[in-house]
Amino acid sequence: MTSPTPTPTPTPTPGTPPAWAELVGAALLGTERRSPPVAVRAGQSAAAALLDAAAVNTVRRRAALRPAPAGERPAPAPADPRPPLPPAARRRLSLLLADRGGTGGGSRRGTSPDLTELLPQWLTAADAHGYRAPDALLPALLDAARARTDLRPTALALAGPRARWLARFNDDWKFALRDTGGPASLPGAPEDVPRIWAEGLFAERSALLTAVRRRDPHAGLALLCTTWATERAEDRLVFLDALRDGLAAADEPFLEQALADRSRTVRAAAAELLAGLPGSALAARMARRAHACVGLDRLAEADPAASPGAADLEISVEAPHECDAQMQRDGVVPRAPSGRGERSWWLGQLVAAAPLDGWRERFGGRAPAAIVALPVAGDWRTELHDAWCRAAVHQRDADWARALLGAPTAPPQGTEAAPAGPARDLAKLLTILPADERARWVAEFIAAHGLSDAFRMLGVCAVPWAEPLGRAVIDALDIARDAGSYPWSFSGVMGLAERCLDPAAADRLDMLTALTDDPEGAAPGSVGYWSETFQRLVATLRLRATMLTELAPARPAQPDRPDHPAAPGRPITPEPEGG
């Protein structure tokens, strides 16, 4: 008796899973009587193919998933040709990422280093060596960067192009798409620029504009102009910020048009950028307004016997009486904050936006230090000097910063010894000075005044602290301990010292870890606390030194010694990256 010919079944569309009823029908009749509605691979029986298809379909049914064609596989992650981390550094990164939540629990930290605060420093050092992050640690690295915005530049630099590839699959990591991966890299091929700008997500477009602007400022501005009129106000504000890279006179016509934007915040941003161009028409307009309000006392100027340093010279101030439409167009905010006089508010904005070089001519060729030393009539000194401070920071003028900072040994502003001084932001002024000069200034300030007013200044000094600054901080802490001061009052400075002192200072700090006798009038338990904090400081410095050693590239092998592991005939098996 011959076997029956299998009943043919409709050939399924490629990529379309077979219906459950078709699978059941083929199973009831048997594969000898009905061909299964699935593709049969070479060497596979029809029955096995039917059972495989039924198993897959069962999983879909249990997951309440409707059968559908398989989705397109994502493109492979881009290659990262940078060298991998040394094995010890890779293990250290894993520990730092695992501990990023902190230990918490209590005000006394003990003598153990705070690994959370060492992660930023480790990332900076790793980036300086040009390493790439291990693939297995990319999710944890992106999570850390998501939780702490201060980590993002260094974390994304270490993660490289694969971080941006991963960010497309997890909304929590979308911030990585704003990173361009370098000053001249584009998030795509050059021919893709128009398409990404027209169709991309906001984060992708922002990253694209920043990358194009860094590579070619003129091309970046031209790209922005193509869609400027149709962008949302909040997007226009972000896109304007991208013009800071390579800001030049060629951007002035566009920014002048932006002064008439319908959004007040966009107008203010455009005015700020124009104020950063000393030769711009807006800077000239603000200078004319400011110079009309501030000058030398006219009676003193008329005296032919007066010399440039005459003691009877003073600065006279006549603040604006109104904030007209043209001033508002140029970025002057008409409404003063609560508790602030309108005229002083307008004056401060005019002076802060005026180019600082113009004041030399306005005050008879005097240098910034001589101008700052002049007395100011009335009660305008604080307002005027504060505005000059903001101008010095915005225009990055080191000469004016030095003049406004004054001598580090002078009484701190705002104290009883210097009640008339302006409320200057010394930390911002210090950022304009070269790193070594900044460290010397702060070291002399601490030696003269202690640590009470130095915390923010220390935060802007280059890491590791130069020797004069590091020694000044340690000496001030030692003096505070000997004076019986409350140790927890200096916890912030001690935390900075752990992160910023040169690791080479650890050995000479050992003497500070010993318990000493209680000084008269000391806070209860302060001696033990000081010893504990100095122990933690030394342990942290030594750990930082170890971390830097782990990141150092391996030295070349020396095959001239027969017993050396790299000698001829003794192969070296490299440790796998995941080890």
Query: What pLDDT score was predicted for residue 572?
Result: 37
Q: pLDDT tens across 370-379, in order?
A: 999 999 998 8
pLDDT reported for residue 67:
62
Cross-strand partners of 316:
295
Residue 178 DSSP one-character state: G
Give the per-residue pLDDT at 414: 46
Other CB atoms within a 10 A radius of the CB of residue 574 amount to 8
235: its two tokens: 């997007």
Residue 500's nearest CA partner among 450, 528, 537 is 537
User: d(Cα 140, Cα 499) in Å, to the nearest integer?
Assistant: 23
Q: How far apart (Å, rounded) are the C-alpha atoms in residues 113 and 102?
A: 11
Sign of CA dihedral 195, 197, 198, 203: positive
| Angstrom distance (rounded) from CA 374 to CA 354 | 19
Residue 257 CB-half CA count within 13 A: 9
Alpha-carbon gap, residue 151 to 144, rounded angstroms: 7
Alpha-carbon distance 143 to 140, whole Å?
A: 5
DSSP-derived letter for residue 296 is: E
pTM for this one?
0.71
What is the C-alpha separation between 129 and 85, in angstroms, rounded?
9
DSSP string, 346-358: HHHHHHHHS-THH
Which one-letter amino acid corresponds to residue 67? P
**Cα 405 from Cα 401, distance rounded (Å):** 6
255's enclosing H/E stretch is helix 252-258
SS3 315: strand
Where does residue 334 rank: exposed (0-12), middle (13-18), buried (19+ CB within 10 A)? middle
Token pair of 63 as six digits: 């997951």
Q: Report the distance separating Cα 187 and Cα 185, nearest Å.
A: 7
Residues in the chain: 579
Digit-coded pLDDT (tens) for 414-451? 444 444 444 468 899 999 999 999 999 999 999 999 88
Per-run averaged pLDDT (10 residues), the chain, 579 residues: 53 62 83 82 86 84 72 86 95 88 51 83 94 94 92 93 90 77 54 85 85 90 93 92 88 93 91 88 94 80 49 88 92 91 94 94 94 92 94 94 93 50 73 95 94 90 90 89 76 88 86 67 66 88 93 68 45 40
Query: CA-to-CA distance for 460 and 393, rounded, in angstroms?
Result: 13
DSSP notation for 368-426: HHHHHHS-BSTT-HHHHHHHHHHHHHHHT-HHHHHHHH--TTSPPTTSTTSTTS----H
**Inter-residue contact 88 to 550 (CB < 8 Å):** yes
Tokens, residue 107: 């005000």
User: Taking a C-beta distance cutoff of 8 angstroms, is the pair 177, 201 a contact?
Assistant: yes
pLDDT for the residue 192: 78
The Cα 268–Cα 327 span in angstroms is 11
The pLDDT assigned to 575 comes to 42
Question: How far apart are the C-alpha atoms of 515 and 507, rounded to whole Å?
Answer: 17
Rounded to 5°, the CA angle 368-374-378 comes to 130
pLDDT of residue 181: 46
| DSSP run (H or E) holding 316 | strand 315-317
Output the pLDDT for position 382.
Answer: 92
